[in-house]
Amino acid sequence: MARRKNNTGNSEATSATVGYEAQLWQMADALRGSMDAAEYKHVVLGLIFLKYISDAFEEQHRKLEVERTHGADPEDPDEYRAENIFWVPPEARWAHLKAQARQSTIGQLVDDAMSGIERDNSALKGVLLMNYARPALDKTRLGQLIDMISNIKVGDEASRAKDVLGRVYEYFLSQFASAEGKKGGEFYTPRCVVKLLVEMLEPYRGRVYDPCCGSSGMFVQSVDFIRAHASGNGNGGKAKANISIYGQESNYTTWRLAKMNLAIRGIEGQIAHGDSFHNDRFPDLKADFILANPPFNVSDWGGELLRDDKRWKYGVPPSGNANFAWVQHIVHHLAPAGIAGFVLSNGSMSSNQSGEGEIRKALVEEGLVDCMVALPSQLFYSTPIPACLWFLARDRKNGKFRDRRGHVLFIDARKLGRMVDRTHRELTGEDIARIANTYHAWRGENDAGEYADVPGFCKSAALDEVRKHGHVITPGRYVGAEAQENDGEPFEEKMNRLVAQLRQQQAEAARLDAAIAKNLEELGYGE
């Protein structure tokens, strides 16, 4: 099967760093003391965000000082907003905080800085943490953290061009997710998984939606994908992403992370706070692309209060597991030609409990299930259990690609990836390209080459075959065994050789049994 060029790069932020991210993390983590990682995450990321907007402000401030003779006013907020730079009031400027870092009042000064930023920048209203003055936060450690962050440039023009803060932010998110274990999975999806979803869906334009957006990783990678492929087409990667972003997150502090994650990259989006099941903030949205990593197997999602919800077109999801509530919520929000890719636990592919099997059957028979990908284990910080990717498409006969009705693509990627530490695995750039290219070729994209089944890896299965398996859609059931390399030995000769080898081994075993029996008899242990 021919393979087209993909700008996947390496998959994890750890592989893309220039080195100081790890050093910065080690220093920051050493200052954490007894504070829980989930709490400290917001302390650190809030300060790094403040340093970012202060760096950008100070650089523009210096330019305006030079241009003062031409009528520029360095203290006019509109001079900054015109350049898409946040206005930073005097009490929030980093130089002011650094000068006071060793004072006992530093916590209150940081809170005042955050308050001033929110007051003067409506886009950040309600986003920043303002709890640095609390007694539980060691002010000596806070001052040391400010001194440490002072040593990095993250918001000036050169750093923005290199996305220095983006790399630091991404690295810290991944490290905090690892430190928090299961809870970390609530706000962070491994970068390689997000990249795979984005590379397969290719969200170039239209409405992009994530109903459980965590820290907004899906949106960041979608925009990065567009810029990377625009760069590959010779326009320097400066093309504006022609997508509209819609996200919802139920956890308030994670919602803050999502807003900051987009803000530091200059990405505009509507990110709402609330429960997507019980307070859908985009009830009329029909998205062209949906990317999501819903929390696995949630049992307390309040399903008993939504038994008659209009979203349950394919069956009422069990109140004890939200997996198929997420699936149907996603289907409900898909545009007529929309496509979705999302993560679920492996059980979603085969479970028949509480009506889940009937819902899955209805989705398959409706022709919505386009592709299933089995992922390797140990990719996620929240669980060592392997997960899978579902890809659903509303219109599989459309003219953009070939008619795929009546077939489902199964990809078994369980053997792919590499271990990055004792507990975590990642998909490499080559792994992502292989999976994505297989999907593109199967869909019939013009530059993707010809698709072919690969035993042990991928299979385009007819609907009748899926029915024979009881609508269980686990890729391992369909792809078969990996083809063994032909050693050139004719079958008959190989069988004769193996049978002779077996007979020889059986004779040797009989000889050894006889020798052991004789020795036992000589020792008086015979029958």
Give pLDDT tens digits for 45-83.
Answer: 889 889 989 999 999 999 999 998 888 899 999 999 888
Q: Is the residue at 15 inside a domain?
A: no
Residue length of the chain? 527
pLDDT at 460 over 80: yes
312 and 331 together in one domain? yes
Query: Both 302 and 327 in a single domain?
Result: yes
The amino acid occupying position 447 is D
Whether residue 332 sits in one domain with residue 226: yes
pLDDT top residue among 82 and 237: 82
Mean pLDDT, rounded, for 217-239: 69
Q: What whole-number distance in Å separates Cα of residue 416 and Cα of residue 525?
A: 54
User: Phi, psi (5° rounding) for residue 97?
Assistant: -65, -40
**401 and 499 inside one domain:** no
Grade residue 382 by pLDDT with cuts at 50, 70 and 90: low
* Cα dihedral across residues 219, 220, 223, 229: positive or negative: negative
- 313: three-class secondary structure by DSSP: coil
Query: How far apart are alpha carbons 311 and 329 in whole angstroms?
Result: 6
Same domain, 346 and 322: yes
pLDDT level of residue 268 (50, 70, 90 thresholds): confident
Q: What percent of the chain has pLDDT over 90?
A: 54
Q: Examine the pLDDT at 226 and tell me if it is beyond 90.
A: no
Identify the domain containing residue 222 by its residue range.
Answer: 205-419+445-479
Please tell me the predicted confidence (pLDDT) of residue 16: 37
pLDDT value at 18 more than 60: no
* CA pair distance 121, 281, nearest whole angstrom: 23
Token pair listed for 143:
């001052």
In 416-490, which residue ranges form alpha helices assigned H by DSSP? 429-443, 463-468, 476-479
Q: Which residues does 162 contact at the CB level (< 8 Å), separation at least 6?
A: none
Position 442, amino acid: W
pLDDT tens per residue across span 293-337: 998 889 999 999 999 999 999 999 999 999 999 999 999 999 999
CB atoms within 10 A of CB 4: 14
* CATH code where residue 64 lies: 1.20.1260.30
Residue 490 has pLDDT above 50, yes or no: yes
Res. 182 pLDDT band, cuts 50 70 90:
low
d(CA 330, CA 339): 10
Highest mean pLDDT among 220-234, 267-281, 481-495: 267-281
CATH number assigned to the domain comprising residue 286: 3.40.50.150
pLDDT score of 442: 97
SS3 409: strand
Rounded CA-CA distance 413/475 in Å is 9
- Distance of alpha carbon 389 from alpha carbon 159, whole angstroms: 35
Kind plus residue range of the DSSP H or E element containing 180: helix 164-180
Per the structure, the count of domains in the chain is 3
Q: Output the pLDDT for position 237.
A: 42
Contact 87, 57 (CB under 8 A): yes
Tokens of 24: 């910065």
Average pLDDT over residues 477-505: 82
> Could you tell me if 394 and 368 are in contact, meaning their C-beta atoms sit under 8 angstroms apart?
yes
- Pick the range with the lowest mean pLDDT from 14-28, 363-377, 443-457, 503-517: 14-28
Q: Half-sphere exposure (CA, 13 Å, Cβ side) for 230?
A: 17
More confident residue, 376 or 422: 376
Residue 13, CA distances (Å) to 9, 17, 165, 244, 360 in order = 11, 6, 12, 25, 35
Residue 167, pLDDT > 80, answer no
| Same domain (yes/no): 501, 473 | no
With tokens 């028949």, the residue in question is 352
- The answer as to whether 130 is a domain residue is yes
**Which of 11-20, 454-463, 502-511: highest mean pLDDT?**
454-463
Per-residue pLDDT at 19: 56
Q: Do both 250 and 377 map to the same domain? A: yes
Q: What pLDDT, on the 0 to 100 scale, is given for residue 163? A: 65
Mean pLDDT estimate for the chain: 86
Distance CA 241, CA 243 (A): 6
463/339 same-domain check: yes
Buried-exposed string 244-281: b where 16+ CB fall within 10 A, e elsewhere: bbbbbbbeeebbbbbbbbbbbbebebebbbebbbeebb
Residue with tokens 């970068």: 191
pLDDT at site 355 = 96
Selection from 353, 320, 333, 37 nearest residue 175 by Cα: 37
pLDDT at 116: 96
d(CA 223, CA 284): 24
Are both 146 and 211 inside the same structural domain?
no
CA distance 114 to 97: 11
For residues 261 and 149, membership in a common domain is answered with no
Mean pLDDT of all residues in 139-147: 91
Whether residues 38 and 62 fall in one domain: yes
Say which residue, 219 or 383, is predicted with more confidence: 219
Question: Which among 122, 94, 123, 124 has a CA at the least distance from the CA of 106?
Answer: 94
Lowest mean pLDDT: which of 152-156, 232-236, 399-403, 500-504? 232-236
Whether residue 283 is contained in a domain is answered as yes
Question: How high is the pLDDT of residue 34?
Answer: 67
Of these ranges, 8-17, 126-135, 265-274, 470-479, the one predicted with the greatest mean pLDDT is 470-479
* Per-residue pLDDT at 437 exceeds 80: yes
DSSP string, 194-211: HHHHHHHH---EEEEEET
Give the pLDDT of residue 3.
47
Mean pLDDT of 81-86: 88
Q: Are residues 340 and 466 in the same domain?
A: yes
**Greater model confidence, 297 or 246:** 246
Q: What is the 3-state secondary structure (H, E, C) of 17-32?
A: CCCHHHHHHHHHHHCC
Numbers of helices and strands, H then E, in the chain = 18, 11
Q: With respect to residue 220, please indicate whether it lies within any of the assigned structural domains.
A: yes
The reply to whether 430 falls in a domain is no
Q: Quick one: pLDDT at residue 285? A: 98
- Give CA angle at 264 (262, 268), nearest 5°: 40
